[in-house]
Chains A and B, each alone.
Chain A
């Protein structure tokens, strides 16, 4: 299992599988909490790549845990937008 420690699960924030496993086992946390603790899923791609693996890791570490009150889901804006497009005054 130790050869998998260095697998990067979250490409945008460079969070490795090892970090996620230790954090999950140490804090026994839900997917949302591990996102808050390790920033995995908070990257530029909006969690597209690592949202599913994060859930799988949590199911693997804590088989009985429920989905948790707030599941990991896409948050608006679903594409990165600049402040200009959102709030620019062009009247």
Chain B
């Protein structure tokens, strides 16, 4: 857990309920009304998806909903921004996978 439990300005962080959610099959704990990106970061997960074509790992970047780098699949709804979605009870989150690029390979082979 890498949360700041006792922030000099924001104060203590111990009166919030823990909410279980699953990410890629494993269950993790998040605090109440915490975003998916923050909850995963607190659990030590920084790679939210991999690039659809080249597979390079990607994670949270702007954290305010512009860059779309943190898009994950939440309850079968794809391309949901993890940095803007609040964790709910028993949320099922899957990370982004690499997509096949069949046509591009064919073009390159010609």
Contact = CB atoms under 8 A, between A and B. Distances in A.
Interface residues of A, number: 9
If over half of A's interface residues share one DSSP class (helix, strand or loop), that class is named, otherwise mixed; here it is loop
B56 A11 contact: no
Contacts of B61: 11
B51 A82 contact: no
Interface of B: 51, 53-54, 56, 61, 66-69, 71, 77-79
19 contacts: A11-B61, A11-B67, A11-B69, A12-B68, A14-B51, A14-B54, A14-B56, A44-B71, A45-B66, A45-B67, A45-B68, A48-B66, A48-B67, A49-B67, A80-B68, A80-B79, A82-B77, A82-B78, A82-B79
